[in-house]
Amino acid sequence: MDSQAGSRGDDRLGYDFLIHDGDATYLYEVKASTSNSGEIVLGEPEVRRASRLTPGETYFIVYVSHVLDRRVISIMPNPFGAPDLDGYEMVSTQLRLRFNFG
């Protein structure tokens, strides 16, 4: 098992931790809350990476609730890998477009 511990972080990658285990690659995005809001926001790099996996890659969201006191950790599946966002509810959609029509 190989990880990139000690590497400098890069928010543009769309994940916080990457672990290689043989032919499998596991990508982990960590989200935290001081309560248990049951809601997260995925930024553009996270959406891009989670929705465009290559064969052998698996994407997880690690949700840490009550981060300032008792810390409850939940490992959640990739919302883009779940049929019809199974287990998730889309709260809002936003699409930002650049255009060039004259």
What amino acid is encoded at 20 in this protein?
H
Residue the block writes with tokens 């959609």: 93
Q: Phi and psi (nearest 5°) for 13? A: -75, -30
| pLDDT tens string 54-99 | 999 999 999 999 999 999 999 999 999 878 888 888 888 877 778 7
Q: Phi and psi (nearest 5°) for 83? A: -60, 125
Strand partners, 74: 63
Residue 5 has pLDDT above 70, yes or no: no
Token reading at 9? 């972080």
As a whole-number percent, the residues of the chain with pLDDT over 90 amount to 64
| pLDDT tens string 21-63 | 999 999 999 999 999 888 899 999 999 999 999 999 999 999 9
pTM: 0.82
